[in-house]
Amino acid sequence: MQLPLPVPKQRDLKVSLETNLDVSQPAKTDRDLEFRELAAENALPSAGKTAPGLNDKLDSWKLQPHEKPSFKRKAMIEAVKLSILFFLLSPVCLFQLTRILLFFPDQTVYDMKEPLKVIADKLKTKVETVNFKSANGKNLNGLYFKREGAKRVFLISHGNAGNIAHRLPHVIHMLQMGQSVFLYDYQGYGKSEGDPSVSGIVEDGLAAYDYLTKHEGWKANQVIAYGESLGCAVTCQIAKQRNVAAVVLQSGFASLPGAARDRFIWLYLFPDFTFPQPQLNNCQILAQLHTPLLIIHGEKDNILPIKYADQMFAAANQPKSFVRLKNSGHNDVLNVDLDEYRAALTALLKNLDGGA
């Protein structure tokens, strides 16, 4: 059995070290002499002196006042600076700020009792506040407008600002056309839990579709996926991953990388694969779909220019139609070109009914 060695007191240890390191004192034992010989061989410092080490090496790397940095040194410094700058400007880093740059949620809980009562009474509509869960378990809030005798239901995915309270004008016009409407808020908007994200809004849209088909009994060929602005990307993702009767895209963008490059020109330096997933490339999805498509866009839209609508229409397959609103911008479609807007939706519904 091995006994533990006694632990010397701090004072005794200090005295022992000073005695062993002080070469001015004669060695008292053979052990002291052996220790001093070993110290000399390894260039151990005497008491009061500092051992050469990392500080000395660092000093040797420093530039002297009269010395100029070499080309290699300059190149290395500039390469490090450029690498840091390249990363900071990259899509991966930039899109970590999407909650600031892309999403403008309104979490205000508006009193909608009166307008909802008017809708229910005058349009023969049953209005329900519904709650359902997104893929990550967060609770989402929505409004379900069940129109008496409706053959189809509009599933509205709204834009990046406000909440469902701001979309009631859309709902009224769709109800007047005899259809039901389901309007929901993404995570972080209105009464919905969580925080918005690019992948999250897609999951929220799919959860809304699943709620309609699984809990309200709507069939896939009765659901019209309607997207507004950012919601166009959500609608395209819904149409890609679920079956729908038709797709309506109002004031949308062609792809998120493309819109981002137009806003931040340096992003043209980065290829598409460097952008976060999903990339929300509407053109790519529309090129694969054969679902009836209606695109509505204002020619005076300065937020998402009409060129994006041109790109989506060019990429899409038939059957498709494109209504250009001559007087509308981005947020005033229902105020400026309402007749043209209603005519476009009415024509779509007529075509879905077989032109009857």
39 vs 201, more confident: 201
**94-138: pLDDT as tens digits:** 555 555 668 899 999 999 999 999 999 999 999 999 999 999 999
User: What's the chain's average pLDDT?
Assistant: 83
Q: pLDDT tens digit string along 22-64?
A: 545 555 555 555 555 555 555 444 444 555 555 555 555 555 6
Q: What would the mean pLDDT of 155-180 be, rounded to a whole number?
A: 97
Q: Is the pLDDT of residue 170 over 70?
A: yes
Q: Which residue has the tokens 């509009």?
A: 154
pLDDT, average across residues 201-228 = 98
pLDDT at 257 over 60: yes
Using pLDDT thresholds of 50, 70 and 90, give the confidence band for residue 262.
confident
User: Model pTM?
Assistant: 0.74
Q: Is residue 226 part of a domain?
A: yes
* Confidence bin at 18 (pLDDT 50/70/90): very low
- Cβ-based neighbour number of residue 79 at 10 Å: 10
Read off the pLDDT band of 312 (50, 70, 90).
Answer: very high
At 76-85, the pLDDT tens digits run 766 665 555 5
Q: What is the CATH number of the domain that holds 189?
A: 3.40.50.1820
Contacts for 134 with CB less than 8 Å, ≥ 6 apart: 140, 187, 194, 200, 203, 204, 207
**How far apart are the C-alpha atoms of 31 and 286, rounded to whole Å?**
87
Residue 254 forms part of a structural domain: yes
Structure tokens, 22: 């002080």
In a domain, 151, yes or no: yes
Domain span holding position 248: 100-352
More confident residue, 265 or 316: 316
Both structure tokens of 251: 């004031």
Collapse the DSSP code of 188 into the 3-class scheme (helix H, G, I; strand E, B; otherwise coil) and give the result: coil
**Is the C-alpha dihedral spanning 107, 111, 115, 121 positive or negative?**
positive
In a domain, 31, yes or no: no
Is 86 within the bounds of a domain?
no
State yes or no: pLDDT of 317 exceeds 80.
yes
Whether residue 164 has pLDDT greater than 70: yes
Q: What pLDDT band is residue 261 in, cutting at 50, 70 and 90?
A: confident
User: How sure is the predictor about 256, in pLDDT bands with cuts at 50, 70 and 90?
Assistant: confident
Q: What is the pLDDT of residue 77?
A: 64
On the question of pLDDT at 233 being above 70, the answer is yes
- Rounded Cα distance between 274 and 26, Å, is 71
What is the percent of the chain with per-residue pLDDT over 90, rounded to a whole number?
A: 62
CA distance 167 to 157: 10
pLDDT for 12: 47
CA-wise closest residue to 160 among 110, 227, 102: 102
Residue 261, domain member (yes or no) = yes
Count of structural domains within the chain: 1
The C-alpha atoms of residue 74 and residue 4 are separated, in whole angstroms, by 57
Is residue 1 over pLDDT 50?
Answer: no
Query: Does some domain include residue 107?
Result: yes
pLDDT of residue 201: 96
Supply the pLDDT for residue 84.
Answer: 54
Whether 265 is covered by a domain: the verdict is yes
Query: Is there a contact between 265 and 221 (Cβ–Cβ < 8 Å)?
Result: no
pLDDT digits (tens, 9 = 90+) for 278-297: 779 999 999 999 999 999 99
Highest mean pLDDT among 53-62, 86-95, 161-170: 161-170
